[in-house]
Structure 1
Amino acid sequence: MVQGLDGPVQRICMVLPEQSRVVDLRAAEVLRQQSRGASREAALRYASVVFPESMSAAIALGQQFLDTAREAAHQYGDDVSLPFDGLQWAPACDPSIVRDGLTFVKHIRQFHERMKLTPAPALLQVPGYFKGSPWTVIGHEAEVPWPARCDKMDYELEIGWVIGRGAHDITPETARSHLFGVTIFNDFSARDLQANEFAIGMGPTKSKDFAYGIGPWITTIDEFPRLDNIRMSVRVNGETWGEGDSSELLWSIDELIAYVSLGDHVQPGDVIGSGTMGNGSALELGRSLNPGDVVELEVGGVGVLRNRLGQRQQGTWWPEPRKPFM
C-alpha cells in the first residue's frame, strides 16, 4: 500500500528482501514510458494497465507482466523504491476463491488422532480440498480477527500455490506449466467450531471463513528448482513450534491442481493451499493460542508471514439450537 490523495492505494511491487526495500512498479513504468517519449498522462494509463491494483489481473497478462516488471525495475527501480519500514502490506494475491488442500501425510494422521476421528478411506481416492471465502484474505502484519464463539484458535502452516494461467480439465503432466509462483498460506482455524461443522458433514464454514493469511509476497516458480524440499517452520511469540519441509505428500502439487481443475475453472491469481505441514498446527502439538499472540510462518525461498491474533469478539449474534425433529 502507498498513500494516495484519497487514502491508501494498493501497488504491485518488486520485493528486494535482501535490501529491505520494494520497487513501485507502476511508478517505475511511468518513468520508463516517459523516457521513450510518452506523455505523463499516457504513461500513467499504460502503467496502470500492466500494473493494476489487482495482482490476479496482473498475473493474467502473462509473460508481458513479468517482462515489463523486470525492465521497469532494472531501469528506474532505484528512483521509485521504498523501504520496508512504514509499508502496509496487502495480501500477496487476491484469489477469486480460496481453495485449500489436504496433502501432508503426517498432518493428516496427527490431525485425526487429536480430533478423535478415523481418516476416511476417500482420502486415498482423491485429493481432498475445501473452498473458502476470498473476502477474508489478509496480508502480512495484518491482525487476525478472533471469530465469535471460538475458544480454540489455531494457525496452519502451508504453502500457497499461485496459479498463473487458467486451468480447466488439465492433467498432472501439464499442471506445472500453470503455476506462477509460491507464497505462504496460513489457514487459520477455530478448532472448537470446526468440530461441530465436521459433524454436519458439509465442510468448514465459520471455523475457517474469518481469516486466510496470504503473503508476504510471491516468489516466481522459476526460483524453485524443486518443489518437494522447501523448508518450512512456524514460530509463536518468537519460539519455534514446528519445523519441516514440503516432502511426504499423499498427493503431489501437480495432482492437486489437476484435480481442482476437473469440471471447474481455476483462474490466474488463484491460490491453492498445499495443506498443513506435519507439526504445522498447534493442535498437533497439544498447544493453544491466545489473543495477542504473534504467529510467524516461514517458507524457504519466500520469507516470513507474520500476523498478530486480535481480541475475542463479544456480543455477536449466534443461532439458537433447534429441538430434535427426528
Structure 2
Amino acid sequence: MRWITYSHREVPTGAPTPTSAGLVVDDTVLGTAPGTRVRDLLADPDPLEVIGERLVKDPHEVVPLAGVRLHAPIPDPPTVRDFVTFERHIEGAIKLAGGDPPVPPQWYKAPTFYFTNPYSVLGPEDDVPLSPGTTLFDLELEVAVVIGEPGRDISADRAERHIAGFCIMNDWTARDLQFAEMEVRLGPAKGKDTSLTLGPMLVTPDELAARRSGTAYDLEMTASINGEVIGRDSCSSMNWSFAEMIEYASRGTEVRAGDVLGSGTCGGGCLAELWGRNGLDAHAPLRPGDVVEVAVQELGTLRSRIVEYPSA
C-alpha cells in the first residue's frame, strides 16, 4: 500500500492548510478524517495493510491524486537517524578531505549513524532553502524506513516486522559547514540542520517483496540536477541491512512509531563524491534556481527547487 499526507489544492492562499493521511489507489486518494496523521495510524494496533483495507471499504473522501498537494508522509517524526550504509559513497566522499584515505575500519564493525533535525522535514512539493552561510550546498539520495511497531533491543532477525514502510529521503548538506564542524570531532550539526525532504509516499513492505535482493531491495536509485544525471546505484548495494540498522539503533534504547532511519547516501547520490574523485570543478554546487530530482524505483520521485534562505 502507498500512504500519503495531503491537503487540498483549492485552499485559499494564506489560509490554514489542513492535512490528512490518505491511501493512494491508482490515480485516486482515499482520505481519512481531516487532521488524521500517518503517525496516528501507526499507533493503531492493526498494521497499515489492515487499516488500508478498512479505508477502502469506508473512506472519508475520494479525490483525484492530481488534485491534492503532497506533504512529507511523516512531517513530524519523533527522531531522524541517518546511517552510512553504502561503501561506494563513503569511498568517494572521504577523498574530498584530500589524498586517498581508506574507508575507516570501524565502518565495517557497526552501521554508524547520527541524529539529524526532525524540525527540518520538508515535503515533496516544498522548495529547499540554502543553509545560511554555505557556498557548497549538496544533495544526498537515500532510502528511509519508518518505524511502525516500537521496541527496544530489537534483534536483526525480527527487526523487519517493526518497519511500517519506505520512502525517499534527500538529506540536504552544506559541505563547507559540515567539514568545518567535524574538524573538532563533532557533528555534523549546522551542515545538515536546515532541510530534509521526505516522500513522496510511504510504501509498505509488501509492495517491495518482488524486488527483494538478499537483505535489501533491487531498486534503481537516480540523482539528477537540472535534468543531468549525476549518479545511479541500487538499494541492493547497501553493506548494512535495514534490519541491522534497526538492531543498532534500538540497542540500549528504544525506537518509536514514526521514527525515521535513513540508509545514508547511495553511490553517486551526491556531489561530494564527484568532488572527491574529480575535484571541485567537476560540478557546481547547488544554487538558487537549480532543480534536483531524486528517484527510487517503486518509491517515486522527489523534485525540489533550490531557493535562497529567506531574509529576516
Shared fold (TM-score greater than 0.5)?
Answer: yes
Once residues 252 and 76 of structure 1 are traced to their aligned partners in structure 2, the CA distance between those partners, rounded to angstroms, is 36
Letter in 1 for 2:194: F
Q: CA deviation at 1:295?
A: 0.9
Partner SS state of residue 285, structure 1: helix
Aligned residue in 1 for 2:44: 61
Q: Distance in 2 between matches of 1:70 and 1:81?
A: 17
- Tell me the equivalent position of 1:193: 177
- Residue in structure 2 matched with residue 298 of structure 1 by the alignment: 295
2:114 and 2:289 map into 1 onto residues whose CA distance is 28
* Residue 205 (structure 2) pairs with residue 208 (structure 1): no
1:262-289 CA-to-partner distances (Å, cap 9, x unmatched) read 1121111111000110001012123222
Deviations 1:290-322 (A, max 9, x none): 1111111111111111111111566x8xxxxxx
Q: Counterparts in 2 of 1:1-326, with a 5 A limit?
A: 1-2=7-8, 7-16=16-25, 18-19=26-27, 21-26=28-33, 52-63=35-46, 65-76=48-59, 80-85=62-67, 87-93=68-74, 94-116=76-98, 118=101, 119-225=103-209, 226=212, 227-286=216-275, 287=283, 288-312=285-309
The alignment partner of 2:264 has SS state of: coil
Q: CA deviation at 1:173?
A: 0.7
CA deviations on 1:222-247 (whole Å, 9 max, x unpaired) are: 11121331211112122222111012
Given the two structures, how large is their TM-score scaled by the length of structure 1?
0.82
Let me know the Cα RMSD of the aligned residues: 2.1
Q: Deviations over 1:161-197 (max 9, x none)?
A: 1111102111111111111111001010000101111
Could you tell me which amino acid in structure 1 is paired with residue 177 of structure 2?
L
CA contact 1:104–1:277 (8 Å) conserved in 2: yes
Q: Which protein is richer in strand relative to its size? A: 2
1:113 maps to a residue whose letter is: K
Q: 1:80 to 1:285 in 2, by over 3 A?
A: same
- 1:8 to partner: Cα distance: 0.9
List runs of 5+ in structure 2 lacking aligned partners: 1-6, 276-282
Name whichever of 232-241 and 65-74 sits farther off.
Answer: 65-74
1:187-214 per-position Cα deviation (integer Å, ceiling 9, x unaligned):
1000010111110211211110101110
1:54-96: CA deviation from partner (whole Å, max 9, x where unpaired): 322221214265423323224558x6213324x3222111310
Percent identity over the alignment is: 31
CA distance in 1, matches of 2:45, 2:231: 36
- Contact kept in structure 1, 2:24 and 2:65, CA below 8 Å: no
SS at match of 1:80: strand
Instruction: Tell me, in whole angstroms, the C-alpha distance in 2 between the residues paired with 1:311 and 1:162.
Output: 30
CA contact (8 A) 2:48 2:164 kept: no
Give, as a single letter, the amino acid of the residue that structure 2 aligns with 1:267: R
Secondary structure in 1 aligned to 2:159? Answer: helix
Structure 2 partner of 1:44: none
Count of residue pairs brought into register by the alignment: 287
Structure 2 distance, partners of 1:64, 1:187, is: 28
CA shift in 2, pair 1:145/1:116, >3 Å: same
CA contact (8 A) 2:71 2:125 kept: no
CA distance 1:53–1:202, change in 2 (3 Å): farther
What letter is aligned with 1:273?
G
Q: What is the alpha-carbon distance in structure 2 between the residues aligned to residue 72 and residue 125 of structure 1? A: 44
Q: Which amino acid aligns with 1:53?
A: T
Query: Aligned partners of 1:65, 1:242: CA distance in 2, in Å?
Result: 33
2:43–2:257 Cα contact (<8 Å) kept: yes
The answer to whether the 8 Å contact 1:95/1:134 transfers is yes
Q: Distance in 1 between matches of 2:96 and 2:47?
A: 48
Q: TM-score, normalised by structure 2?
A: 0.85
CA 1:10–1:197: 2 relative to 1, 3 Å: same
